[in-house]
C-alpha cells in the first residue's frame, strides 16, 4: 500500500481547492472540501489502488466493476454532479441531473481545475480542465443550467486564464441568486 503517497496527493488536491475557494470567498467550502477522502472507506481504497497519475477509484472500478470509495464520496460531497442525480418530475421522468446551487457549481469548477493541476503537474495548462471535461461530457448527467454555467467557466479559464475567471466568479457569478432559466 502506498499510504504516504496517497495522503500527499489528496492533501495537495485539498490545498489547491482550498486556495481556489478562498480566492472567490467560499471559505467554509474550502475548509470542508473532500474531508471524506480521509475516512477509512475512501482512504484505504486510495492507498490500495494508488497510481499517482489518475484516480484510484478508476482502478478499483476496473478491478471490481464498481468503486466503493466513489459511491461513498459522491454521496457526501455536494460539489459532485452525481450527488444531484435524482428522479425527475413532469417531462424529465427517470434519473436526471438536478440544478445545483451556484456555490457548488463553483466548487465543482475549482475541484476540476485543481484535480487537473494535481495529476498533470508541469503539463497543466488552463485548457486542461476543459479538455478533461470534454472527454467525458457525453456521460455526464447534468441539469441544463448547471452544464451551461460549468462549461462557461471552463471555457473562460481556457481562453482568459485563472485570474480573470476567478475575478468573474467572485464579482459576478456568486453575486447572483440564480442562474439560467427557472425550472
Rg, C-alpha atoms of the chain: 16
Q: Where would I find the H helices in the chain?
A: 3-24, 27-32, 40-48, 56-64, 68-74, 102-120, 128-136, 144-160, 162-171
Measure the N-to-C terminal CA separation of the chain; round to a whole number of Å.
47
Mode of pairing for the β-strands spanning 95-97 and 85-87: antiparallel
pLDDT in tens, 153-175: 999 999 999 999 999 999 999 99
Length of the chain: 183
> Hey, what's the cell of 37?
477522502
Beta bridge partners of 86: 96
Q: What is the mean pLDDT of each run of 10 residues along the chain (183 residues)?
A: 93 98 98 98 96 89 96 97 93 90 98 96 97 96 97 98 98 91 51
pLDDT at 91: 80
Which of left, alpha, beta for 66 (phi over 0: left; psi -120 to 50: alpha)?
beta
pLDDT at 181: 61
> Hey, what's the cell of 96?
436526471
pLDDT at 92: 75
Amino acid at each position: 500500500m502506498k499510504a504516504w503517497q496517497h495522503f500527499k496527493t489528496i492533501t495537495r488536491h485539498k490545498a489547491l481547492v482550498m486556495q481556489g475557494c478562498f480566492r472567490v470567498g467560499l471559505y467554509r467550502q474550502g475548509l470542508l472540501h473532500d474531508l471524506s477522502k480521509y475516512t477509512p472507506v475512501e482512504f484505504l481504497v486510495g492507498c490500495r489502488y494508488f497510481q499517482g497519475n489518475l484516480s484510484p477509484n478508476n482502478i478499483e472500478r476496473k478491478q471490481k466493476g464498481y468503486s466503493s470509495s466513489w459511491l461513498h464520496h459522491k454521496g457526501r460531497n455536494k460539489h459532485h454532479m452525481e450527488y444531484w442525480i435524482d428522479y425527475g418530475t413532469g417531462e424529465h421522468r427517470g434519473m436526471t441531473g438536478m440544478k445545483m446551487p451556484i456555490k457548488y457549481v463553483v466548487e465543482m469548477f475549482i475541484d476540476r481545475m485543481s484535480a487537473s493541476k494535481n495529476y498533470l503537474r508541469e503539463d497543466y495548462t488552463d485548457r486542461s480542465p476543459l479538455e478533461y471535461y470534454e472527454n467525458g461530457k457525453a456521460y455526464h448527467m447534468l441539469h441544463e443550467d448547471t452544464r451551461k454555467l460549468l462549461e462557461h467557466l471552463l471555457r473562460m479559464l481556457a481562453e482568459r486564464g485563472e485570474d480573470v475567471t476567478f475575478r468573474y466568479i467572485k464579482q459576478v457569478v456568486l453575486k447572483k441568486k440564480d442562474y439560467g432559466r427557472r425550472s
